[in-house]
């Protein structure tokens, strides 16, 4: 029963200062908006202004995750949004060997 066990070690989590900053700004924006909404009754105009600032933060986050590193996806995201397909990797390896 002496079989070989193959396991894939997890790679170290990459850190991206820009992504961390964007996430912190988004978090603080959402918290501030929530506190403002809880503390007083807002008009439709005031609520739309708060929502607009939240959407700007979300847009900045998505933009950075998709193309924030010289047009390439951010490697420090939770999950890779865009990545090379397995087939492309296999073809690249075969081409390198040949």
pLDDT by position in tens, the chain (length 98)? 555 555 555 555 677 888 899 999 999 989 998 888 888 888 888 888 888 988 999 899 888 888 888 888 888 877 655 555 666 677 778 888 76
Task: Give pLDDT, residue 27.
Answer: 92
Where does residue 76 rank: exposed (0-12), middle (13-18), buried (19+ CB within 10 A)? middle
Please report where in the chains the tokens 């790679």 appear, as a residue: 11
Please name every residue paired with 72 in a beta bridge, in sequence order, or none if there are none: 69
pLDDT of residue 21: 92
Q: What is the dihedral angle through the alpha carbons of 6, 12, 18, 23, rounded to the nearest 10 degrees?
A: 80
> Cβ(22)–Cβ(61) under 8 Å?
yes
Spatial separation of the C-alpha atoms in residues 74 and 63, rounded to whole Å? 9
């Amino acid at each position: 029963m002496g079989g070989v066990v193959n396991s894939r070690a997890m790679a170290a989590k990459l850190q991206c200062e820009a992504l961390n900053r964007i996430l912190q700004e988004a978090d603080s924006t959402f918290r501030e908006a929530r506190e403002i909404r809880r503390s007083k009754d807002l008009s439709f105009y005031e609520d739309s202004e708060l929502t607009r600032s939240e959407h700007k933060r979300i847009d900045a986050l998505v933009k950075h995750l998709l193309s924030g590193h010289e047009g390439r996806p951010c490697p420090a995201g939770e999950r890779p949004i865009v990545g090379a397909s397995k087939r492309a990797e296999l073809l690249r390896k075969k081409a390198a060997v040949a």
